[in-house]
Structure 1
């Protein structure tokens, strides 16, 4: 009896073990890390770095090869061949330089403390970069340097040649201006220190604690490059150090950082890397990336244009599929186009997970925007939010695949509001940089809430949003007073008007979800202020000044009225009211013609030089974010196939596997997030809205593994066929015919299968019958501001003044004595003569509603005077 029981128990536990093994096998994630090439974006103007980092890590341990210049923003450029060392913080794809804190450099021989002396040549052929790992060989010293990381710790492995003088240089002066710093030797295995610097972030504090796998036999701490003999701790603005080992063969160094204290750094170090097992840490970093990248699984995919095949130095094969039998002209090896496309995709997905960055320690402490120490209760605090860029695609992507982290982002925003009284604009470390325009933490919050991420204080968030847009800063007072930011009041006035109007639309959506009717009506009106900078005479969004339009005007001009762009790129930046813009431009046909002209014009950029405006197709600039939604606007027209035409062109021409394979700055994930979303065939042009527009899926199959345990599968059986233009032929959702050019967020998060059928031939009947996406403001329609026929402030001869309005059916009333016009003032019905100095004010009235007052001052000058404008 006992024997039988024992056997039954043994059988039970055997079956249990087999079940566990089978379950573990079933749950094992596919490894997509070999498809990631961290060198993509490190050339050209991508501004990425190739070093070791885990998803959203506080530490980004990477080589520094460039000390200054715009293309040195990340500290590294692919064309460089000299490395200064390996620092522990880096920015991915920004247009401004910062970070590169606490540089380590292994050397041999007598220690040198000047970077021009301790730097080393390295060869590209010896560089290896994979997610969570980097390796290079320092030619000058015959040292192999390997890097890996955890969230808060950077781990180095240096393999030295046989020498009694094996050094590690620690440079705290490296890169930006140092305000204060110190290094202290704890014992012959450990050091700690502090660096306070001023760069893009005006006041950044980094504490660190480092441990070494072997004891150093001697050390020296230098102040102003002079070693301070016998000193265990040295403080100043130019502090460096060397530690020296006696023939160590291999040294593993691990360094943790903290914004709070060296004790916080030590806690991070001991919690995340308790020993010196480099391979174990490297494996753990890889596992984190395996799990992160497996959130989206793609299969198949190949180039769909002859041009791309030619760009890859290949012979074109119109009959190929996943593995095309094309030959590289140099070495005659077959080219696997599907693998190339998957490399572009997974590298892009990898880039979307490099920022924002964890900023709180393992115990939850972090340095807040008030420079005080706070503790994150129940969430992880983040920094490095490039919101002007990332609200467009990066954050909508993360609301799909990383909802928990998105919630932490929102809670971080609210913590910043608590500490500094303002939602973040572009927060870096414990600083608000106020970089770029708009208040785009607002759409991130609203989009999260609209898509069911609600476990935060929505009432506080709403108050914070209103506080952000009702302050008197960056032209917001001019915006509220005039219904537009005026050129004379603020630089980049046009861009700010458009971005503020979109933010206000987001606040209106939040007000509606919170049942705040009064607020909804206020902000839905403000969301229409874009109408006050739309010039119906030329069809462009244009600056307003002195009651008229900024002149001289040329749509290709890059000037101070726009943020890193011109009138061509910004005239389509009304994602909250596309149908209103279509109406203003004269209807669908005229709108489509304007889009066509944008993409096909041969006119070149004029005005000031702006390197950010890159990746040009006509005047469309994919290298900068204001253009990112524009190709999708054809979905609102009678020829929506053009959306897929231009998406194909953009994806195939501006994303490659080369180091310069990005059209512009990576911008903390946005450039890559655009590709990830567009390659899936989904794009949200107005975050805060449920609709994802249907684009052009690039893979035979893509599976989004959702956090609720469900899967959303997108298939495009013809994605692997090399063809010319690709057209939409049909769609199924859950095996039922689907007739919309958009899909709602709920349809995605509930899981299921979405089948897209594409082909070479246009199916115009199918396309015409498709339901278009919606982007239309119908409530509380405002009356657009009128405008004067000239904005010239001085004149010598009497001239005829006209007052016009882009709105049909309005009545215009004006005064000539500077008084406030009303419906009882003079009704404008024909041009009138201005022959003396005059202050004109006017309003447009329709259906009992009035526009804002416009005002212009026109000064009569003596004819014999000459004015020279310098």
Structure 2
């Protein structure tokens, strides 16, 4: 018996030691990323939970307040139940509660409280803080769908709990139902980044409360309050040290859903047991990867990174599987879990590939969610949030997640339906895709961010081709493999950069460091390596491995300042390499392709050592829903997915002393710094089936057509192939050729045109024709001169001052570059007709995009003069467009005047001024955007 007790004691000791060794939640520091530009939040959440219960220190929608919290702040406005992790746009902050004492106020400036970081604590699944104003201790924890609050009132008196539905985003509809003295139901429909968000909540107080103050601009019918201004204070007497516990169950579907979620996850009244359950949930997820290091900071950085990856996507269905679809109808998820918050432009690169290694089941759930969103919303998600498609960022990168899962043998979703959804999304006519399909690239004339969209669509097309290969769809494979080569049309062989094209030619002036509207959150340096689907092809285009190695060296050696537009996302610069934003994330691994893995190792180690810290500003850029952290995790393991869709990794030297990865099949992979690269390359996918490559046609790149877009009497036209082996054919159509049938003829040498002409050309090699390049060259409609007495923004020149009198009108999409922009100043221009002209009608054209700070001028004045010195006011045209109108629109400020003769015309447009308080950019200077000035 004694021996049995001894064995039992030893066994318990082993179990407890093992249990302690599994406590990876202890290393999580939720404050990492809450400072700097990380945009994370410190509050309580369980892995992939619907509830993110966190303090809000920002209610202004500022960029560094996207998550609702910033470490530099000292005031808390309340604790809300939804938050975004590391995004670049502000949203969420639903169902906000705030405890106060004394006379209740519904003014946020009055119910908010100072706090100190000394009295603040955050761990995985738990948050606490002392509110200084009323000496209230707040503790928060959560399950997937229920937030648990514990408020300790350290003074006796009247305790208030403020429910403010006007918190952060715009309230479209609100409702509060008083069920009984301890139970409240809440509905909130709001608009922010996601323009039509629905959330329901059931709130249960641990003691009876009564309404002591209310703000209601709608109906008040017995115990139901509605409106678009809606806030209530719930009050009760408390003794010194008394606690009030509050449980909040949320649901995307309705009050019934919130009630079911409360029954399933909100029955406990034991705060500590829920806190321990949350920590246990985190331990279960975090223990999928065990790392050993004597450096506790490195352990904290690693496990916090894993914590951030597991923070989203978020479960978005009730406990019974009911969810709100993309069409706002209700559905039941059968056999999978339905999720929201898909930051796919970021996460396809690293976060989703990491999940294919350690969470294959959840990966299939994500893809089943994609398929349902396609069926209910018409296309795969781009950046889906709360059953809304925000259309933020570019590409159709859900196809990358799908192709990667299929290539790695992940089951649990319908491959055929996933392919159907992917092909459908690639065949739409939105965001430049119509031009991309027709011309095999996007030019500035077609769509803004043309370079980034072209190269990212090309990668996505390669992903669809890989699906087609797996499914045996030969024609689809050949079609999308050819499209995947479209990057070649923007690769300038003269300089090795991905360069925008405009009107058939390379866009000039060109500076690869310039951040402008031809790229997405970046410049040409960042996107000139974005051919993940065909690195060997990119190397060949550069002239071989040695020259491509020099090109990789060059990005790290370039000056570490960008030019052009200020872009807050571009951070963590090593030369022009930007670790703080996603397009750079694969570049250091490209040295592997030129036989220089030691250079990959050197760069990756430098980034791991210097750009990730155990501090609030420990992330060098936005967390971006786990991508910044996923890069860290994969790189410390010694792997990275340069090409999601290939069942292999690119490799580097592992960072930790020992790493154990526990896979879902029950096996464990152990990695040390001595693990071979060949072993790492197939890590986790050793038994994946290889599919035989099929033949496909090589793309012939479209030629470049160069001439003066606007000319006086004549201009020389030169056509150049992008491959010297190509033959060229061209055709011209001038103003008199409208009904003339013309055919293409061989191009031999430059030629001259002397009238407004459209030139078309294509290249041919080995029987494969390129798409047709088309360019328009305009003979000036007048020979006026113009002097602009204002400073043009160098990003918005439209080609120079003559653009205002060239007869070419800008598109409503001002990002294409056909509008002139002037910020913080009135605009004035003087046109010299060179001789007196008769005038009866004057006009100038302006654009408004209020969200982009571009507002109509307050008024436009027209003056005439014969000598250029003495001017007479002819007409004043006042603005009639509401500056709050966010519709992008063009308005002609025109005036019919009595017949007047003059040599000079002065046009003066008065800018709006500083942006007012209601504007997101309040305090900034408004722009005037104008295009054509016309005289009749």
| TM-score, normalized by the shorter chain, greater than 0.5 | yes
Q: Is the 8 A contact 1:394 1:673 kept in 2?
A: yes
Counterpart residue number, 2:329: 372
Shift of 1:148: 0.2
- Measured in 2, the distance between the counterparts of 1:638 and 1:258 equals 53
- Measured in 2, the distance between the counterparts of 1:202 and 1:825 equals 50
- Measured in 2, the distance between the counterparts of 1:288 and 1:126 equals 26
Counterpart residue number, 2:614: 657
The alignment status of 1:174 with 2:152, answered yes or no, reads no
The alignment status of 1:448 with 2:405, answered yes or no, reads yes
Q: Is the 8 A contact 1:823 1:845 kept in 2?
A: no
Say which of 773, 783, 788 aligns to 1:854.
773
Say which of 673, 676, 686 aligns to 1:747.
686
Say which of 811, 815, 818 aligns to 2:731.
815
Change (3 A) 1:143 1:745: same
Q: Is the 8 A contact 1:576 1:777 kept in 2?
A: no
The alignment status of 1:351 with 2:268, answered yes or no, reads no
Q: Deviations over 1:779-814 (max 9, x none)?
A: 321111111234x42122544332222224111111
The alignment status of 1:588 with 2:505, answered yes or no, reads no
TM-score (norm 2): 0.80
Q: Is the 8 A contact 2:458 2:483 kept in 1?
A: yes
- Measured in 2, the distance between the counterparts of 1:169 and 1:112 equals 8
The alignment status of 1:801 with 2:758, answered yes or no, reads no
Q: Is the 8 A contact 2:313 2:341 kept in 1?
A: yes
Counterpart residue number, 1:844: 763
The alignment status of 1:786 with 2:703, answered yes or no, reads yes
Residue aligned with 1:816, SS: strand
- Measured in 1, the distance between the counterparts of 2:687 and 2:98 equals 48
Shift of 1:748: 8.7
Change (3 A) 1:815 1:226: closer
Residue aligned with 1:98, SS: coil
Q: Is the 8 A contact 2:143 2:274 kept in 1?
A: yes
Say which of 311, 317, 321 aligns to 1:360.
317
Residue aligned with 1:813, SS: strand
- Measured in 2, the distance between the counterparts of 1:205 and 1:650 equals 41
- Measured in 2, the distance between the counterparts of 1:219 and 1:554 equals 62
- Measured in 2, the distance between the counterparts of 1:452 and 1:835 equals 61
Q: Deviations over 1:713-761 (max 9, x none)?
A: 11016xxxxxxxxxxxxx54xxxxx6588335423999xxxxxxxxxxx
Say which of 526, 550, 554 aligns to 2:507.
550
Shift of 1:639: 2.5
- Measured in 2, the distance between the counterparts of 1:636 and 1:71 equals 38
Say which of 446, 466, 478 aligns to 1:521.
478
Say which of 232, 236, 246 aligns to 2:237.
246
RMSD: 2.7
Residue aligned with 2:685, SS: helix
- Measured in 1, the distance between the counterparts of 2:137 and 2:560 equals 51
Q: Deviations over 1:150-188 (max 9, x none)?
A: 000100001112323011111111011000001111111
Counterpart residue number, 1:712: 669
Q: Is the 8 A contact 1:29 1:291 kept in 2?
A: no
Residue aligned with 2:686, SS: helix
- Measured in 1, the distance between the counterparts of 2:376 and 2:262 equals 27
- Measured in 2, the distance between the counterparts of 1:14 and 1:470 equals 70
The alignment status of 1:43 with 2:35, answered yes or no, reads yes
Change (3 A) 1:444 1:823: farther
Q: Deviations over 1:389-437 (max 9, x none)?
A: 0000000001111111111101111111111121111110011111100
TM-score (norm 1): 0.86
Shift of 1:214: 1.9
Shift of 1:603: 5.7
Shift of 1:260: 0.7
Shift of 1:827: 2.0
Q: Is the 8 A contact 1:816 1:841 kept in 2?
A: yes
What is the number of residues matched between the two proteins?
781
Q: Is the 8 A contact 1:495 1:570 kept in 2?
A: yes
Q: Is the 8 A contact 1:296 1:703 kept in 2?
A: yes
Q: Is the 8 A contact 2:98 2:163 kept in 1?
A: yes
The alignment status of 1:473 with 2:430, answered yes or no, reads yes
Structure 1: gaps of 5 or more residues: 1-6, 301-321, 323-337, 718-730, 733-737, 751-773
Residue aligned with 1:250, SS: strand
Change (3 A) 1:114 1:447: same
Shift of 1:19: 8.6
Q: How does 1:666-677 map to 2 (within 5 A)?
A: 666-677=623-634
Counterpart residue number, 1:644: 601
Q: Deviations over 1:106-146 (max 9, x none)?
A: 11101111110000000011110000000000010101000
- Measured in 1, the distance between the counterparts of 2:695 and 2:298 equals 42
Shift of 1:223: 2.8
Change (3 A) 1:585 1:741: farther
Shift of 1:149: 0.4
The alignment status of 1:264 with 2:257, answered yes or no, reads yes
Q: Is the 8 A contact 2:175 2:226 kept in 1?
A: yes
- Measured in 2, the distance between the counterparts of 1:549 and 1:466 equals 31
Q: How does 1:311-330 map to 2 (within 5 A)?
A: 322=294
Shift of 1:18: 9.9
> Which one is further off, 268-277 or 41-50?
268-277
Change (3 A) 1:709 1:21: farther
Structure 2: gaps of 5 or more residues: 786-801, 805-819, 821-936
Say which of 558, 563, 569 aligns to 2:526.
569
The alignment status of 1:60 with 2:17, answered yes or no, reads no
Change (3 A) 1:600 1:748: farther
Change (3 A) 1:20 1:603: closer
Residue aligned with 1:201, SS: coil
Change (3 A) 1:709 1:13: farther
Change (3 A) 1:531 1:139: same
Counterpart residue number, 1:490: 447
Q: How does 1:290-329 map to 2 (within 5 A)?
A: 290-300=283-293, 322=294
Q: Deviations over 1:679-725 (max 9, x none)?
A: 111101111111101113110101111111001111016xxxxxxxx
Say which of 471, 493, 501 aligns to 1:536.
493
Say which of 384, 391, 394 aligns to 2:348.
391
The alignment status of 1:186 with 2:179, answered yes or no, reads yes
Q: Is the 8 A contact 1:51 1:129 kept in 2?
A: yes
Q: Is the 8 A contact 1:348 1:672 kept in 2?
A: yes
Change (3 A) 1:579 1:815: same
Q: Deviations over 1:220-245 (max 9, x none)?
A: 462348997x9422110111111112
- Measured in 1, the distance between the counterparts of 2:758 and 2:217 equals 65
- Measured in 1, the distance between the counterparts of 2:219 and 2:437 equals 59
- Measured in 1, the distance between the counterparts of 2:111 and 2:678 equals 64
Residue aligned with 2:589, SS: helix
Q: How does 1:756-775 map to 2 (within 5 A)?
A: none
Counterpart residue number, 1:771: none
Q: Is the 8 A contact 1:684 1:691 kept in 2?
A: yes
Counterpart residue number, 1:611: 568
> Which one is further off, 794-803 or 427-436?
794-803
Counterpart residue number, 2:92: 99
Residue aligned with 1:50, SS: coil
